[in-house]
Amino acid sequence: MEDTSTTKPKPPRTKRFMLVRYGRMRTLGLFEHNEATIPSTPTRVVIKTEKGMELGTIVGGISAYRTGQLKLSDEQLKKYFDDSEIPFTTEPAGRFIRYATPEDINEEKHFQKIAVEETKFCKKLTREMNLPMKIVDAEHILGGERIVFYFMSDGRVDFRDLVRKLAQEYQTRIEMRQIGARDEAKILGDVESCGQKCCCIRYLKSLKPVNMRMAKLQKATLDPSKISGFCGRLKCCLRYEDDIYTELKKRLPPRNTLVNTPEGKGRIIDYQVLAQLVMVELETGTRAAVPRDKIEILGQYQPNNPNMKSPKESTPKERIPEKSALEENVPKENIPEENFFDENTPKENIPEENNTTEDNTSENNNTDEKPNG
């Protein structure tokens, strides 16, 4: 009797990935591995990237992995990094080679010392060649396969001769990578005014633009030395609370809104976003800080609408000085003649002293316009 049972195909093997932070720019990437378990303590690993062999650090402890597999799905990873405004791709950035050994750590320290000398030598060459570029730092890839020089420049630079001289000096592959001011802070930055390391060093990977509107909305000081970071630009942390400030501001009426308060009617002249208070100038001329929920909006102040007047315009008329008699009641012929001199008045009707002044002025102007010599 024939055996009609068929052999079931083996299910495809599930790839395992670990999340690793690596490189001088502290890039995040997924790396394929075959390890059964992941250490629960911060662990250095040797990985293979497009640049060569590099050292990195596993991100996430044992709680982030199950039987060596990252528990988060591709969709969860992408959503997390999108919400954190960090550029990230679920495509593998390379593969895991091995856990780092003490020899690998010592080699990394050795290359870091060499990179300092390589940076100085590269700066010397750029000065000798008069290249318009600023050498920031150098990164020596593990194993000596490549040296990456990070530089800043206002435009494109022809550094082909520089690369040839560097390759001749170090007998390895040379890569020149242009960066911006914020990337420079990410490499060289230190402790900021808040007492913490620069955010771009610790965790920021996507350096979003920051503008002065954010500083003004948060009532921060506009002193550039206090709101600028290591890079010389506005501090990235001004973005952190911008969304909540913007949302809270929408709940407050704009300036010049006419409102009714427990102390009387008035006009909004300022506000405090976080405290949700509005500063109201009352009809009596005094000012009072009133919570948002204690005011009744009457309308927006419109100068051309007689039914909506600001508290200043509602001042009794007797307090407003009336036009002088010279402007209303006195006939024009009774007002001294010099009050009516204008550009249309014939020159012969102007007193002689005025003619003298104009002639001197004209003469001076002509003197200034004469060419030297």
Cα–Cα dist 140/112, whole Å: 7
What tens digit of pLDDT does each residue of 250-294 get? 998 888 889 999 988 898 998 888 889 999 999 888 898 999 888
Kindly report the number of other CB atoms within 10 A of residue 195's CB atom. Answer: 6
Q: State the span(s) of the chain assigned CATH 3.30.300.
A: 105-179
What tens digit of pLDDT does each residue of 16-63 get? 888 888 888 888 888 888 887 777 777 899 999 988 889 998 876 556
Backbone dihedral angles phi then psi of residue 352, each to the nearest 5 degrees: -60, -35
Q: Which has the closest alpha carbon to 177: 208, 130, 133?
A: 133
| CATH code for residues 105-179 | 3.30.300
Q: Could you tell me if 77 and 69 are in contact, meaning their C-beta atoms sit under 8 angstroms apart?
A: no
Cα–Cα dist 2/270, whole Å: 92
What tens digit of pLDDT does each residue of 342-371 get? 444 444 444 444 444 344 333 434 434 444
